[in-house]
Amino acid sequence: MQKRILLCLAHMSGKEMAFIQKAFDDNWVVPLGPNVDGFEKDLEGFVNHCETTALQKRVVALSSGTAAVHLALIACGVKPGDEVMVQSFTFCASAHPVAYLGAVPVFVDSEPDTWNMDPDLLDKAIADRMTKTGRKPKAILPVALYGMPYQIDRILEVAAKYDIPVIEDAAEGFGSRFDGRVLGTFGHYGVLSFNGNKMITTSGGGALICPDDEAGRRILFFATQARESYPYYQHEHIGYNYRMSNICAGIGRGQMTVLEEHIGHHKHIQALYRELLAGTEGVRLHEAPSPRFDSNYWLCTATLSPELRVKGQENAYKEVIKNAVGGAAGVTHLAGSATTDCQPNTNVEALRMALDAANIEARPLWKPMHRQPVYASNPVYVNGVSEKLFKEGICLPSGPWVTDEDVHYIVEQIKKNIVYL
Q: Which of residues 190-249 bind ligand PLP (CB under 6 A)?
A: 193, 195, 206
What Å distances lie between residue 120 and 108, 139, 155, 189, 370, CA to CA?
A: 10, 16, 9, 22, 18
CB 74 → ligand PLP: shortest distance, Å? 16
The answer to whether residue 87 forms part of the interface with ligand PLP (CB under 6 A) is: no
Stretch that binds ligand PLP, among 77-85, 168-176, 288-296, 346-354 (CB under 6 A): 168-176
Q: Are 82 and 104 in contact (CB under 8 A)?
A: yes
First to last CA, the chain: 31
> Which of 86, 122, 143, 304: binder of ligand PLP (CB under 6 A)?
143
Distance CA 230, CA 33 (A): 21
Sequence-ordered strand ranges (E) for 83-188 = 83-87, 104-108, 139-141, 167-169, 177-178, 181-182
Is 251 a binder of ligand PLP (CB under 6 A)? no
How far apart are the C-alpha atoms of 310 and 312, rounded to whole Å? 6
25, with CB counted inside 10 A (0-12, 13-18, 19+), is exposed
Instruction: Report, in Å, the least distance between residue 269 CB and ligand PLP.
Output: 19
How far is the CA of 259 from the CAs of 123, 185, 413, in angstroms?
A: 35, 18, 30
Q: In this complex, which beta carbon is closest to ligand PLP, that of residue 71 or of residue 308?
A: 71
Segment near ligand PLP (CB under 6 A); pick from 62-70, 123-131, 152-160, 262-270: 62-70
169 contributes a contact to ligand PLP by CB under 6 A: yes
Site membership for ligand PLP, residue 168 (CB under 6 A): no
* 35 is a contact residue toward ligand PLP (CB under 6 A): no
- Cβ proximity to ligand PLP, 198 vs 272, nearer residue: 198
Q: Which of 71, 93, 380, 410 is close enough to bind ligand PLP by CB under 6 A?
A: 93
- Residue 301 touches ligand PLP, criterion: CB under 6 A: no
Can residue 172 be called a binding residue for ligand PLP (CB under 6 A)? yes
CB-nearest residue to ligand PLP = 65
Paired residues of 181 in beta bridges: 178
CA angle 303, 309, 310 (to 5 degrees): 80
Please tell me whether residue 386 binds ligand PLP under the rule CB under 6 A: no
CA angle 73, 77, 80 (to 5 degrees): 85
Q: In this structure, is the dihedral angle defined by the CA atoms of residues 242, 246, 251 and 257, taken in order, positive or negative? A: positive
- Give the total of residues touching ligand PLP (CB under 6 A): 14
201 vs 346, beta carbon nearer ligand PLP: 201
State in angstroms the smallest separation of the CB of 234 from ligand PLP.
30
Q: Give me the residues that bind ligand PLP (CB under 6 A), please.
A: 64-66, 90-91, 93-94, 143, 169, 171-172, 193, 195, 206
